[in-house]
Amino acid sequence: MPNISSIYRPRNPRDSGYYRCVEDHFETFEQVYEERFERQYGYFRPYVRKVIYRYLDCGILHNGFARVRCEDCGHEYLLAFSCKRRHFCPSGHQKRVIEFGECLCQEVIKAVPHRHFIFSIPKMLRRYFLFDRKLLSELSRCGWESLKEFFQEAVPEEDAVPGAAIAIQSFGDFLGFNSHLHVLASDGCFYGNGMFRVAPRFEAKQLEEIFRHNVFKMLLSKGKIIKELVDMLMSWHHSGFNVFCGPRIQPGDQQAMENLARYIIRASFSQERMTYIPEDSKVIYQSKDRKHEKVFDALEWLAAMCSHVPDKGEQMVRYYGYYSNVSRGKRIKREQDDLIPHILEPEGSPKEYRRNWARLIQKIYEVDPLTCPKCEGQMRIISFIEDEEVIKKILKHLGLWDVKARPTPRANAPPKAPEYYIDYTDSQLLVSDKWLYGDPEYPEAYSA
């Protein structure tokens, strides 16, 4: 018999506190959103409603499934379809994380030194990006233009250009809206016919000044801020802008690169750190180091979660310079894309990565879902069942047809508009400059 710890068990999302919290409170949340949360988080986006209802149907056999069967002993199980939503569905997003790490390392990144950068902005500017999500793409462009300008000044060749993948993140440790950029960039510039020059050592403070200038210029051009606000921030000892620069990642260090790629598009929250208390309609969420926790009203928790859901078609990862789609396409057309070797030669197309569910599951949970739990033989997917009548007949035959009605929305505190203000004091004036050159929250991002 196979080891019990190595057996893949299809998840049951209804057993999680996260699912129960969403199921219990979403209808009430939608009803009171305008009065309680619109001022703090902006108007309610209709696409969020679709994402949440898709999540509530995720992993439920009644909505369709695949039949997985062992070719040796005939053992079968049913695998429910996933909603494939970003950020809001933990399972769907985790598959995207694994897929992105593989695709970035095998299809995009070249075998040259790289660095991890984090670009942060002051608290008082983050509200503009919360209320207008289109500004997030502009923030990404500001980060890229800053890196490009900085590296081109450091490398003397005229046609030199760096390569970068920039992931936009909007969340902090306790789900507060914190728009910032995670950048995986070449530590230098490509030039000529497949040449690469490593950038000299530099101070992150210099890059921060360029980034600050570009963000101010962008927000002023969009009419979001006025010159007086810029002057005030520039007069502070610490303006709230920050650029973190990680250690150099040497070419060939595939594990470190893939870990970092997964890290920069991680989910906005962790189910393991969340505790749902249905009797009190509360959610307790722990900090990453487990030393602190915050108690949310269930509706407040949902409001914070929904603020991080990307709009339909919104690109949260963008490629620039030598790694842009245009540059890669031109090199492939000229058959020059392999002049600088990939970290790992690709074994399939991006479409094959999306389809290869079993391999992704094996990497996430370190078990093979196509290994039979009875005889350890090889299993395979033999059919996809999507017709409602066929689904009903199969589940009734197996004793799995149990239609669960949506619960009655739970009563909650009377709707009220929260006090809303901008805090100009608590995080802008730092007591030490050391914070500018380190990333104490996520040191394990570089572990191989």
Identify the H or E element spanning 302: helix 298-306
The band of 358, judged by pLDDT with boundaries at 50, 70 and 90, is low
Tokens of 79: 């695998």
pLDDT in tens, 155-170: 777 888 999 999 999 9
If one compares 125 and 371, the residue with the highest pLDDT of the two is: 125
Q: How many CB atoms lie within 10 A of CB 59?
A: 23
pLDDT at 364 over 60: no
Q: Give how far Cα 45 sits from Cα of 38, 190, 373, 379, 392, Å.
A: 10, 42, 44, 42, 34
Q: How far is it, in rounded angstroms, from Cα 121 to Cα 225?
A: 14
Residue 379, Cβ density class (10 Å: 0-12 exposed, 13-18 middle, ≥19 buried)? buried
Q: Residue 88's closest CA among 367, 303, 333, 244? A: 303
User: Are the CB atoms for 247 and 446 separated by under 8 Å?
Assistant: yes
User: Are the CB atoms for 125 and 225 separated by under 8 Å?
Assistant: yes
- Amino acid letter for position 227: K
pLDDT in tens, 216-267: 999 999 999 999 999 888 888 888 899 999 998 988 788 888 889 888 888 8
The band of 139, judged by pLDDT with boundaries at 50, 70 and 90, is very high
Tokens of 102: 């593989």
Q: Give how far Cα 184 sits from Cα of 54, 179, 243, 395, Å.
A: 32, 17, 13, 47
pLDDT of residue 405: 57
Least confident interval from 50-54, 187-191, 381-385: 381-385
Q: Residue 295 forms beta bridges with which residues?
A: 284
pLDDT of residue 314: 87
pLDDT of residue 271: 83
pLDDT of residue 441: 41
pLDDT of residue 10: 64
Residue % of the chain over a pLDDT of 90: 30
pLDDT at 357 over 90: no
Identify the H or E element spanning 69: strand 65-70
Identify the H or E element spanning 148: helix 134-154
Least confident interval from 144-148, 258-262, 321-325, 361-365: 361-365
pLDDT of residue 169: 92
The band of 367, judged by pLDDT with boundaries at 50, 70 and 90, is low
User: Are the CB atoms for 170 and 42 separated by under 8 Å?
Assistant: no
Residue 292, Cβ density class (10 Å: 0-12 exposed, 13-18 middle, ≥19 buried)? exposed
Distance of CA 71 to the CA centre of its chain: 37
pLDDT of residue 448: 35
pLDDT of residue 320: 95
pLDDT in tens, 290-337: 888 999 999 999 999 999 998 888 889 999 999 998 988 888 888 777
pLDDT at 26 over 80: yes
pLDDT of residue 122: 93
Q: What are phi and psi of 76, to 5 degrees?
A: -130, 155
pLDDT of residue 432: 35
Q: Are strands 76-80 and 188-191 parallel, antiparallel or unpaired?
A: unpaired
User: Are the CB atoms for 148 and 321 separated by under 8 Å?
Assistant: yes
Task: Provide CB contacts within 8 A for 200, sequence distance 6+.
Answer: 154
Least confident interval from 18-27, 291-300, 378-387: 378-387
pLDDT of residue 3: 52
